[in-house]
Amino acid sequence: MAKTLEQDATKLVHKWQSVASYGVPDELSIALHVGVVDTGNNNNGTGIGSRRTIQATFTTLFLGPAAQLLQVMEKKFPELGMKQEDCKEMRWVESTSKNCRISRWNTVDILLNRWSSLPKTTFKAKSDFVTRPIPKVGLEGIWKRIVYQSRSRARRRSAIIPELAARHCIDSSSPSKALAQQHNFLQCVASHSNQSMPQLYVPKSPSFLSVLQSSIYNLRFTSPATPKPLFIITPNHESQIRAVVVCSKKHGLKITVRSGGHDFEGLSYRANVPFVLIDLVNFRTIDVNIKDNSAWVQAGATLGEVYYRIAEKSPVHGFPAGACPTVGVGGHISGGGFGLMVRKYGMAADHVLDARIINVKGEILDRKTMGEDLFWAIRGGGVTSFGVLLAWKIRLVPVPLLILVSTMAKTLEQDATKLVHKWQSSCKLWRSDELSIALHIGVVDTSNNNNGTGIRSRRTIQATFTTLFLGPLRNFYK
């Protein structure tokens, strides 16, 4: 159903944003496309007399009969005014050929026609949206939003922290079932571990919560409401991980793998189905080989540990990865992480020479045995979809003996908006890949007299420019 501005499109789009939150059945999806149409009839291609307006097109798919859909729409989205003649029952495969503006095709054969005469109207790329600097007025709107968010976040956090100590037990509705489940799983792991049994924590273990929360960086997920694993396993040998993979599969348990625990969504330590958590905190060996410019790094090592061990062996070798030393190499490299040397050396994943993973069958694979396709996928595509990463072999990069670093913070009152605006386009002016300037934006309290009460606090935006230059001071000033 298409509606123009004159047909109340704004009201409909506004309502559409919240329709899904009002408990509509999972069988219903309403997609929205917004475009420009010409509603004048007499322009003959000249553009004269044309009347351009916005048109919102709502494409509804309902996995069920029309009568039921009309009932739902009448209750949840009456403003759209859907009637019997606005919807058509069809087979699922037919519906797929109706999408993507090819509704005029009456046959599903179009699905096989790769070179169809579809109107080729796409002319935007994602990156188009960031090539032009955000205007100052846009930046000012963003600042307001950040300050507003920081206030509500402070309130939320104080509500969460007192709950940290609360215990959340598994399957309390059926303790005997949970015990049997634990027992069978443990027996399986014991029989598959060649070495010794891995260190394992169940929710009743005294240190279960402290181990679980040890590397949770998103405090939202320390709340009792966050689903907890049935087991936390902290292996120190590959065969123990293999045993957990094999037994989780056998007992229908999901595995989450945690290296540094910095996942913004907490995907390394929470799930909505029964799961075990493999925490690689003991998998942190780093073996640096300066002679061939490489290092083998186990997945649970942090970036800080990697940098430290490289520097121990050589002051003119480095590795181009993230700025935060507590991030884990398992998630960081496999997810496309990068740091301040990105302009010179690209991403961390660009410097992976080899890897060791355990796949779902419990097989240990390296670059040669996994093949180049899988090796390509785990360098940026997230290794979790393919197995448990055990270790990376990384290439070290040359760095000067002394480099230049600067951190400068400016508040709004110190012209931060102007600086951020200029910063967006400044890299076009640099000729040197040796220079990177990273920007972090945050909220600071510039008043001195609030005594921690928040009363009379003066919150403002602060932009922090961190500059890294791989060269000497005299070149930097040029």
Ligand X SMILES: Cc1cc2nc3c(=O)[nH]c(=O)nc-3n(C[C@H](O)[C@H](O)[C@H](O)COP(=O)(O)OP(=O)(O)OC[C@H]3O[C@@H](n4cnc5c(N)ncnc54)[C@H](O)[C@@H]3O)c2cc1C
Which residues, in sequence order, are CB contacts of 10 under 8 Å at separation 6+? Answer: none
> What's the min distance (Å) between Cβ of 327 and ligand X?
4
> What's the min distance (Å) between Cβ of 476 and ligand X?
22
Cβ distance to ligand X smaller for residue 90 or 308: 308
Cβ distance to ligand X smaller for residue 113 or 210: 210
> What's the min distance (Å) between Cβ of 412 and ligand X?
24
Which residues, in sequence order, are CB contacts of 209 under 8 Å at separation 6+? Answer: 165, 167
Cβ distance to ligand X smaller for residue 56 or 301: 301
Amino acid in the structure at residue 73:
M
Long-range contacts for 211-215 (Cβ within 8 Å, ≥24 apart)?
Answer: 211/279, 212/269, 212/277, 213/164, 214/261, 214/281, 215/258, 215/260, 215/261, 215/262, 215/279, 215/281, 215/326, 215/328
- DSSP secondary structure, 127-195, as one string: THHHHSPPPHHHHHHHHHHHHHHHHHHHHHHHHHGGGTT----TTTT-HHHHHHHHHHHHHHHHHH-SS
> What's the min distance (Å) between Cβ of 326 and ligand X?
7
Cβ distance to ligand X smaller for residue 178 or 329: 329
Angle at 428 between CA 424 and CA 430, to 5 degrees: 110
Contact 319, 351 (CB under 8 A): yes
Cβ distance to ligand X smaller for residue 58 or 319: 319
Cβ distance to ligand X smaller for residue 3 or 332: 332
Cβ distance to ligand X smaller for residue 209 or 327: 327
Distance between CA 241 and CA 278 in Å, rounded? 8
Angle at 385 between CA 379 and CA 386, to 5 degrees: 75
Contact 258, 215 (CB under 8 A): yes
- DSSP secondary structure, 297-361, as one string: EETT-BHHHHHHHHHHH-TTEE----S-TTSBHHHHHHTT---TTHHHH--GGGGEEEEEEE-TT
Distance between CA 247 and CA 17 in Å, rounded? 43
Contact 239, 193 (CB under 8 A): yes
Contact 278, 258 (CB under 8 A): yes
> What's the min distance (Å) between Cβ of 378 and ligand X?
9
Cβ distance to ligand X smaller for residue 218 or 432: 218
Helix or strand holding residue 296 (H, E) = strand 294-298
Contact 202, 186 (CB under 8 A): no
> What's the min distance (Å) between Cβ of 143 and ligand X?
22
> What's the min distance (Å) between Cβ of 97 and ligand X?
35
Distance, C-alpha 335 to centroid of its chain: 8
> What's the min distance (Å) between Cβ of 216 and ligand X?
9
> What's the min distance (Å) between Cβ of 137 and ligand X?
29
> What's the min distance (Å) between Cβ of 390 and ligand X?
7
Contact 9, 55 (CB under 8 A): yes
Cβ distance to ligand X smaller for residue 179 or 376: 376
> What's the min distance (Å) between Cβ of 118 and ligand X?
36
Cβ distance to ligand X smaller for residue 233 or 280: 280
- Classify residue 238 by its DSSP letter: H
Distance between CA 477 and CA 314 in Å, rounded? 27
Contact 368, 355 (CB under 8 A): no
Sites of contact with ligand X (CB under 6 A): 217, 256-264, 267-268, 280, 299, 322-324, 327-328, 330-332, 335, 337-339, 383-384, 388-389
Cβ distance to ligand X smaller for residue 280 or 412: 280
Give start and end residues of each alpha helix (H) in 406-477.
Answer: 416-426, 473-477
Cβ distance to ligand X smaller for residue 181 or 259: 259
> What's the min distance (Å) between Cβ of 364 and ligand X?
13
